[in-house]
Structure 1
Amino acid sequence: MKILTPQPSTQGPAAWFTGVVHFDVIAPGDQARGKVNAVHFTPGARTAWHRHLNGQTLHVTQGIGLTQSRGGEIMVIRPGDTVWCPPGEWHWHGAAPDHHMTHLAIWDGIAEGQEGVETEWADHVTDEEYQQR
């Protein structure tokens, strides 16, 4: 057994996020393939469109957020909600316009012998796309 020393909070890079986002690495994936971050979004902040080679699970712990799969409807997410994003599905997630939101982002890194990009990032979610609801 090993207690992992917490890493400092990190501001989300502008290439991946619109607005102010910070994340705390909970499980960095160097002990196992599983990775977990606590991601803190300020009102209106959101990810860019992205997809994960092995899928992603989101578990909301605080606030109110929004999420959408490409071509789907924007869905409201609240504390206790868990969202599964299947492998390869383009999606985004973030805070509602008038609320902060924190979720746990859980995903697997690349397995030995597996090919591909762990997370592929694309265009930012425009204000028009974000306000579709």
Structure 2
Amino acid sequence: MEMLDRQPSVKGPADWFTGDVYFDVIAPGTQTRGKVNTVHFAPGARTAWHRHANGQTLHVTEGVGLTQSRGGEVVTIHPGQTVWCPPGEWHWHGASPETFMTHLAIWDGLAEGQDGPETEWSEQVTDVEYGQRS
């Protein structure tokens, strides 16, 4: 058994996030392709539009969050709920305007011989897009 060193929390880069977001790397994908981060969003904070070559699973651990696939409705997510974002699907996720939200972000890195970026980032989610929830 190998104990992995705990890495310091990292502030999410402004290119990828609106608002204050911090993440902790839980599994860096060095032993397997599987990667896991705990991501902490302040109220109103969210990712930019992005997609993953091999998809992404989000599991909410606390607070209330929002997520949306491009062209779809904004969905409210709560602790204990899990969301699957299929490979290549443009999406975003973050905290509701009123509460913090923490989730586990789980995804696979690129397979040997797989081309392209592991995660592709695009434009920021606008306030209008973010506010389109029912």
- Do they superpose with TM above 0.5? yes
**Alignment RMSD, CA only?**
0.4
Amino acid aligned to 2:112: E
Aligned to 1:60: 60
Normalising by structure 1, what TM-score? 0.99
1:89-100 matches, within 5 Å, as 89-100=89-100
Q: State the SS of the aligned residue for 1:128.
A: helix
CA positional deviation for 1:3: 0.9
CA positional deviation for 1:106: 0.2
How many matched pairs?
Answer: 133
Structure 1 outlier segments of 4+, above 4 Å: none
Normalising by structure 2, what TM-score? 0.98
Q: Distance between the aligned counterparts of 1:113 and 1:73, measured in 2?
A: 35
1:72-114 Cα offsets, whole Å, 9 max, x none, are: 0000000000000000000000000000000000000000011
1:1-133 matches, within 5 Å, as 1-133=1-133
CA positional deviation for 1:38: 0.0
CA positional deviation for 1:116: 1.3
Q: Distance between the aligned counterparts of 1:123 and 1:8, measured in 2?
A: 27
